[in-house]
Amino acid sequence: EVQLVESGGGLVQPGGSLRLSCAASGFTFSSYAMSWVRQAPGEGLEWVSAISGSGTGTYYADSVKGRFTISRDNSKNTLYLQMNSLRAEDTAVYYCAKHNTGTSSGVGGYWGQGTLVTVSS
Amino acid sequence: AIQMTQSPSSLSASVGDRVTITCRASQVIRNDLGWYQQKPGKAPKLLIYAASSLQSGVPSRFSGSGSGTDFTLTISSLQPEDFATYYCLQDYNYPRTFGQGTKVEIK
């Protein structure tokens, strides 16, 4: 059974940093691209970043480019999102999601339960 | 970035009604589109992939159509558990973009 479990969310001050993790199980992690998607309180869904199975290909939304870094450790079956220079508008629930195959494929049907990041002083 | 314009933003319907939600892309995206259902406090659930393919386990009252720039999600007979917010997502290129969402409420 595919499982994705996010962690690392919490309260952080503006300008601060946070690293999110997504522990994956139930599939061959290194064979699949992964994405992060976020949802601000009361708002719609926003795609944030994606990474290829090998980790060599990465993509970002303009709103986070230069501040967020996506990475993965295939030996640990874990996806990461390093978030720096955080702003109030980064406050959201962050979901990790498994693609159907590589980065050109659809985001797919497996998502974690989400982790809440709150940026506030 | 490709813009996904979803309409309506909300609708009120009764159990048994036929419901249609549309998504228009700002450029051709072939059939690289998915439809998601989200209930409060829950992760999105994939309903339709590749514009018209029903995800495993999803009831057959859900269907998708379209190609190019115009896409439709149809619920043939609305059920109580279908009251939720629906989103389209283009999988054609990066950055991936969602529609603004359609909230389906009880009339």
What value does the mean pLDDT take over residues A3-10?
98
Both structure tokens of B32: 């690289």
pLDDT tens profile A61-102: 999 999 999 999 999 999 999 999 999 999 999 999 999 888
Q: How far is CA A90 from the centre of its chain?
A: 13
Instruction: Report the distance separating Cα B68 and Cα A107, nearest Å.
Output: 19
- A29 phi and psi angles, rounded to 5 deg: -55, -45
User: What average pLDDT does range A112-117 have in this prediction?
Assistant: 98
Mutate to test the interface with B, among A1, A2, A4, A45 (most CBs of B within 10 A): A45
Residue A88: per-residue pLDDT: 98
Contacts of A60 in chain B (CB under 8 A): 95
The per-residue pLDDT of chain A, averaged, comes to 97
Q: Give the residue on A whose Cα is nearest the Cα of B6.
A: A44
Nearest to A23 by CA among A72, A69, A63: A72
**Residue B19 contacts by C-beta under 8 Å, 6 or more apart in sequence?**
B11, B13, B74, B75, B78, B82, B104
Kindly list the residues from chain A whose CB atom is less than 8 angstroms away from the CB atom of residue B98. Answer: 44-47
pLDDT for the residue numbered A101: 87
Residue B44 backbone phi and psi in degrees, to 5 = -60, 150
**What is the pairing mode between strands B102-106 and B10-13?**
parallel
User: How many angstroms separate the CA atoms of B91 and A41, rounded?
Assistant: 24
A-chain residues near B99 (CB < 8 A): 44
Q: Does B15 touch chain A (CB under 8 A)?
A: no
How does pLDDT run along chain B (107 residues), one tens digit per residue? 999 999 999 999 999 999 999 999 999 999 999 999 999 999 999 999 999 999 999 999 999 999 999 999 999 999 999 999 999 999 999 999 999 999 999 88
Q: Is the pLDDT of residue A104 over 90?
A: no
Strand ordering across the sheet containing B19-25: B4-7, B19-25, B70-75, B62-67
What's the mean pLDDT in A19-46?
A: 98
How buried is residue A64: exposed, middle or buried, by Cβ count under 10 Å (0-12/13-18/19+)? buried
Cβ of residue A95 closer than 8 Å to a chain B Cβ = yes
